[in-house]
Structure 1
Amino acid sequence: MKYKALIIDDEPPARSIVKAYLKKHQEIDVVGECANGFEAIKAIKEKQPQLLFLDIQMPKVTGLELLEVIDEPVQVVFTTAYDQYALKAFELNAVDYLLKPFDESRFDGAVEKVLGKLQSGQSSNNTNIEQMQNENTELLERIVVKKGTKLEVIDLNHLWYIEAQDDYVMLYSEKGHHLKSKTMKYFEEHLPADQFVRIHRSYIINVDKIKALEPYDKDTYLAIIHPDCKLKVSRTGYKKLKEKMDF
């Protein structure tokens, strides 16, 4: 049986090396190359690969951001020049990784490992990849969402608020609203605290978007983003806003 592979890397020489090393692996058929996440999301939908050779640090959309929004089950071999990501992947046994520059022997070992998983029918590693993202302490600078078969990048300055939706969240921004498979806790920990405040168990708000606060009932308020968007503020949330907005 042949397995379809997609190579995703913004550097053409890096893609060429992976493609050259794969020539002797007859079980793998390279069905495409992508230079960025925007090309990749379309190719994954169209080609339905079982395996990705994926660079982590790419402009506009990183490899981890891409994995957040794909629904298709895939096995992943990370290719990265940043060993902190590689070590985390290794610790979690989420995927194999190739630390650039890598030689053919190291590449062959990664391929054999992934082929073993594919041939045994093991499921993809999305759960562990999500664990990697949750354990990453770096603050978000943007949020990547999927709209149909396309990716959209939401700048945090354009994000209005986040609403809890069971195991998901709904993001409201200038680009509309998008459902994201993340928790409120994740965003509370990964958004800049000087800009975003959890005002209620159901809402995290961009304080720069608050036009006014008005009383709602005893000890609660409404945060006004625009006339048609008013969010309930809890007593605790109001205290946080007072500290943040200095009023």
Structure 2
Amino acid sequence: MAYTCYIIDDEPIAIEIIESYLLRLEGFSVAGKFTNPVKAFEALQQQPVDLLFLDIQMPGLTGLEFLQSLRAKPEVILTTAYREFALEGFELDAADYLLKPISFDRFLKAIGKFQARMRKAESLVLPKIQASEGEAPHLFVRADRKNVKVLLDEILYVESLKDYVRIVTLQGKITTKETITHFEEALPKERFLRVHRSFIVAKDKITAHSADGLDIGKVPIPVGRMYKLAVEKEILGK
């Protein structure tokens, strides 16, 4: 399978190095190179790609801010000269984190992680929202060897459990073999919000919020540091 890539870095030499590495691999093509993240954002709206190589420290708009601004996120390999940003990359579910200067051996390991994630994603069937005439919007998930109907109106939150997700509803809990990223793609964004690498919440089920988290009824839900701006914008209108 062929994968398309964008390289986003304010240092042209860094772009050249990554491009030269990609040219040594089969099945990868560079669809665009950007020193300006705003231009990259515009390009992504017109031509989505499979993989971003994204520098974290860029003037005007950091790589992490860039990633937060995307509604539909491709796979991302973060690059930076600063080791302390690894935690933020992990929280935003990046495929890998490359510390500059980047060796080809380390680059290959990152590519391997990306390919493993893509194979896993391709093996999963994305849940589809259904809404026949006279029926409330719903989806079916596989649980306990059955296809279980889940009404969107009844979902409180979704929690990641590594290779599974737990869907907590007004009726109870359902655990299914699925990734939270796939579930995020399936759920309508006007009704659901990713607030942490491990949690998606129903916006209309939020009963309280603070600087560090929010509540769904009596259940506290953490808000990840990299998701705070998006949460404040959605909930507080900031």
Q: Identify the TM-score tier after normalising by the shorter chain.
A: 0.5 to 0.7
Indicate the residue corresponding to 1:58 in structure 2: 58
Indicate the residue corresponding to 2:112 in structure 1: 112
Deviations 1:96-152 (CA, angstroms, capped at 9, x unpaired): 01001121000011011101211332669698x9647xxxxxxxxxxxxxxxxxxxx
* 1:65-84 equivalent positions in 2, closer than 5 A: 65-84=65-84
Gaps (5+ residues) in structure 1?
133-165, 168-182, 191-201, 206-247
* 1:80-229 equivalent positions in 2, closer than 5 A: 80-90=80-90, 94-121=94-121, 131=196, 166=203, 185=211
Larger Rg: 1
User: CA shift at 1:25, angstroms?
Assistant: 1.6
Indicate the residue corresponding to 2:48 in structure 1: 48
Quote the Cα distance in structure 2 between the aligned partners of 1:8 and 1:116.
Answer: 22
Q: What code does the residue aligned with 1:11 have?
A: E
Quote the Cα distance in structure 1 between the aligned partners of 2:46 and 2:106.
Answer: 30
Contact kept? 1:74, 1:124, Cα under 8 Å:
no
Q: How many residues align?
A: 148
User: CA shift at 1:78, angstroms?
Assistant: 0.2
Q: What code does the residue aligned with 1:115 have?
A: Q
Q: Secondary structure at the match of 1:185?
A: coil
Task: From the superposition, tell whether residues 83 and 124 of structure 1 become closer, same or farther in structure 2 (CA, over 3 Å).
Answer: farther
Indicate the residue corresponding to 2:24 in structure 1: 24
Contact kept? 1:10, 1:34, Cα under 8 Å:
yes
Quote the Cα distance in structure 1 between the aligned partners of 2:212 and 2:87.
Answer: 22
Contact kept? 1:21, 1:104, Cα under 8 Å:
yes
Quote the Cα distance in structure 2 between the aligned partners of 1:56 and 1:19.
Answer: 18
User: CA shift at 1:88, angstroms?
Assistant: 4.7
Contact kept? 2:75, 2:94, Cα under 8 Å:
no
Contact kept? 2:9, 2:34, Cα under 8 Å:
yes
1:9 aligns with 2:9: yes
User: CA shift at 1:33, angstroms?
Assistant: 0.5
Task: From the superposition, tell whether residues 114 and 7 of structure 1 become closer, same or farther in structure 2 (CA, over 3 Å).
Answer: same
Contact kept? 2:54, 2:77, Cα under 8 Å:
yes
Task: From the superposition, tell whether residues 20 and 125 of structure 1 become closer, same or farther in structure 2 (CA, over 3 Å).
Answer: farther
Quote the Cα distance in structure 1 between the aligned partners of 2:31 and 2:180.
Answer: 19
Q: What code does the residue aligned with 2:116 have?
A: G
TM value normalised by structure 1: 0.50
Quote the Cα distance in structure 2 between the aligned partners of 1:69 and 1:90.
Answer: 17
Quote the Cα distance in structure 2 between the aligned partners of 1:96 and 1:125.
Answer: 16
Task: From the superposition, tell whether residues 83 and 115 of structure 1 become closer, same or farther in structure 2 (CA, over 3 Å).
Answer: same
User: CA shift at 1:90, angstroms?
Assistant: 4.9
Gaps (5+ residues) in structure 2?
123-178, 185-193, 198-202, 214-222, 226-234
Q: What code does the residue aligned with 2:7 have?
A: I
Task: From the superposition, tell whether residues 37 and 125 of structure 1 become closer, same or farther in structure 2 (CA, over 3 Å).
Answer: farther
TM value normalised by structure 2: 0.52
Task: From the superposition, tell whether residues 5 and 64 of structure 1 become closer, same or farther in structure 2 (CA, over 3 Å).
Answer: same
Q: Secondary structure at the match of 1:64?
A: helix
